[in-house]
Amino acid sequence: MRQLVGRVVATERKPNTTHEFHFWTGREAPIGIGSIVKVVAEAQTVYGVVVEGFSYTDLLSPLHDYIGADADPGAEARAPSTRPEIRLYSAAVLRREPEEPVQPVPMGAVYLADDLDVVVGLRMDAYVGGERDTGVPLGLYTSGGLEAPVFLDADFLLGPEAAHLNITGVSGLATKTSLVEFLLASIFEHLPGFKGSVAAVCFNVKGPDLLFLDQPGDLDEADLRMYRQLGIPAEPFKNIRYYAPYKADGWNLNTLRTNPDLMQNVEPLRWGLKEVMQFSEVLLTRDDLDAKADALVDFIRDRVLDQPFGPGSGQPLMRNHFVRTFRDLEDWFDDVLACCEQSGEDRWMTHHTATIRKVRNRLNGIVSRAHGLVVNDDAVSDLPWGSFEDRAVYVIDVANVEPEAQDLVFARVVSKLREGLEAGSIGVRHVVVFADELNKYAPSDGPDTYVRKMLLDISERGRYLGLVLFGAQQFRSQVHRRVVGNSGSAVYGRMDMDELATPGYSVLSPATKTKLASLPKGDLMVRHPHFTQPIFIRFPKPAVMRGRDGIERFPPRQEMPFEDAVAHGLRRVDQRVRVNEVKDLIAGRERSEVLQAFHHTQRSRPGDALAFFRSRLKKKVASEVVEAPRPVSVPEDPYAGD
């Protein structure tokens, strides 16, 4: 039974309008900022959410109370009666029935909303519980002792009607990463079959935040109860893969998830010339390349890379080339410049030698600028393009990678996802991309970088492709307006008052801003296309291990020497491999040769890893000890004295 809490009131100074109304309650009424109420009148029913509160007594001026107490703060305890007090609240209209005509809110009784009122007031009845149920639980509305589930519409979260989610809040207190972990579990559990398959690609950009998503977290009984109410299993992700580039040495992975107990689903991220060339402008700024250099880069990408080039194909060079690696490209540049020197010309096929040398230096510098990620050979290791699995999470750890290499990873991965979804060849229907620190990748000011242009394209076109951006940042006001403006849903955790003072938050009441500035962990404010006003909710802690807890339980392994790293890496591919046998096999060989064979073995994952690894090494010429020839005795010459 609904609880009657007050009545609608309208005065000359505070009249009710079509979008806002006022009501009074007693002091004990369980009403606060964010509470959902229901107005029942003869002609219509109105649902609203409280956005401001006031307290009134019968005093006209504070001076009257001061004089009545005879300037004694303790006089109230001796007073013969208690001064009457009411609470006056302002509420923003969520919904009205019937929808037409749109009129000011009438006088009527005000009730605290129950479970059904929350569903109707937030218009969730349009997508929850029907034949086409697209509701995805986000949390619980908990005002007034109620615990009512709140759902987002998958059509407006993953597309095609709208898409994308933006999360804002101060670092460490807004639970931005925790919300994404929980919401992904909710999507995986509740996305209906007719919406198709879904996978997630998460970029780990801060410490160990996302490195233990397959390990159970520490949940209390309150969290477990919330999971049961929302219909979500309280368990970690079952299908997850981790990817990380190598450190500069080329054999130790650049990630904190290196504990031997967790290495079974960690893969290296290793790209060669072909993978990087398409995104060279991410690492080459406008100061590096002008229009002439751009033309040469395009020529190499379209006419040289991964195809025969040389006199055998009719091109003016001295040798035939097939460019697949950065080493091959260096040989090609040497041949081009040698032809120019031999002919005495300062141009080669319309490209000036100064431009050729400039592009050569810049492209060769990519390997050193992104060492560990970009390599000289063709033993690449990449995400499983074309075979993404339903309800799988792919985490790319770039937390310890140089900023330029981070930009390259972000640009190439998201571009490949877009291309695969456009062609329908990625393996799933929807891909959720989680990227933290949007203040860095898509700032509201600064140069128009490749990464920012790509994020703008995703935010504007991604919903049609099934490419969904879950972005997070501390300062929403400093992210490009088109990125946050195209996010169908927005979530706000605890906010900084300086951020709340920016123009983007002017639509919020002072009381709502004050509540946002003091939200506890786990409490959020949500905006969604179906909700005509922001709503406060609570969500449980994610059922996965926190990053700092994972580091304590699974401490990272120390950097390994070259021989040990290769041997243990081969054992991860095939447990039958013996460490000492590998060390004997690679003793005395060039590290570049061993690493190339090692990376080819990791990529191929053969049944007999040691035999495959041995086949990729150069054959050693067996040494043979030759005995010194015996001296031959020569007889004396009988004619020597003549």
pLDDT at 367: 83
Q: At residue 67, what is the residue type?
A: I
pLDDT digits (tens, 9 = 90+) for 302-340: 888 889 998 888 888 889 999 998 889 999 999 999 998
pLDDT digits (tens, 9 = 90+) for 612-624: 988 888 876 555 5
Domain 148-268+389-550, CATH number (from 3.30.450.20, 3.40.50.300, 3.60.15.10, 3.30.200.20) = 3.40.50.300
pLDDT at 624: 57
What's the average model confidence in pLDDT over 271-296? 78
pLDDT at 623: 53
How sure is the predictor about 77, in pLDDT bands with cuts at 50, 70 and 90? low
Mean pLDDT (the chain) is 88
Phi and psi (nearest 5°) for 604?
Answer: -80, -30
How sure is the predictor about 28, in pLDDT bands with cuts at 50, 70 and 90? confident
Kindly tell me if the per-residue pLDDT of 150 is higher than 80: yes
pLDDT digits (tens, 9 = 90+) for 108-138: 999 999 999 999 999 999 999 888 899 999 9
pTM for the full predicted model: 0.88
The structure tokens 């059509």 sit at: 155
pLDDT at 634: 58
Kindly tell me if the per-residue pLDDT of 633 is higher than 70: no
How sure is the predictor about 525, in pLDDT bands with cuts at 50, 70 and 90? very high
pLDDT digits (tens, 9 = 90+) for 206-262: 889 999 999 999 999 999 999 999 999 999 999 999 999 999 888 899 999 999 999
Query: Is the Cα torsion angle 437, 438, 441, 443 positive or negative in sign?
Result: negative
pLDDT at 291: 80
pLDDT digits (tens, 9 = 90+) for 537-588: 999 999 999 999 999 999 999 988 888 888 888 888 888 889 888 888 888 8
Kindly tell me if the per-residue pLDDT of 73 is higher than 70: yes
pLDDT digits (tens, 9 = 90+) for 161-170: 999 999 999 8
Cross-strand partners of 362: none
pLDDT digits (tens, 9 = 90+) for 171-204: 877 578 999 999 999 999 999 999 999 999 999 9
* Distant-in-sequence, close-in-space partners of 46: CB < 8 Å, separation ≥ 6: 21, 38, 39, 93, 95, 96, 97, 105, 106, 108
- For residues 535 and 122, the answer to whether their CB atoms sit within 8 Å is yes
The rounded Cα 171 to chain-centroid distance in angstroms is 16
The Cα–Cα gap between 539 and 181 comes to 11
Q: Both tokens of residue 368?
A: 């050193």
pLDDT digits (tens, 9 = 90+) for 412-438: 999 999 999 999 999 999 999 999 889
Domain ranges within the chain, ordered by starting residue: 3-72+83-121, 148-268+389-550, 274-369, 560-616
The Cα–Cα gap between 198 and 480 comes to 27
Q: What percent of the chain has pLDDT over 70?
A: 94
β-strand 36-40 against 45-57: which pairing, if any? antiparallel
How sure is the predictor about 297, in pLDDT bands with cuts at 50, 70 and 90? confident
The Cα–Cα gap between 522 and 630 comes to 91
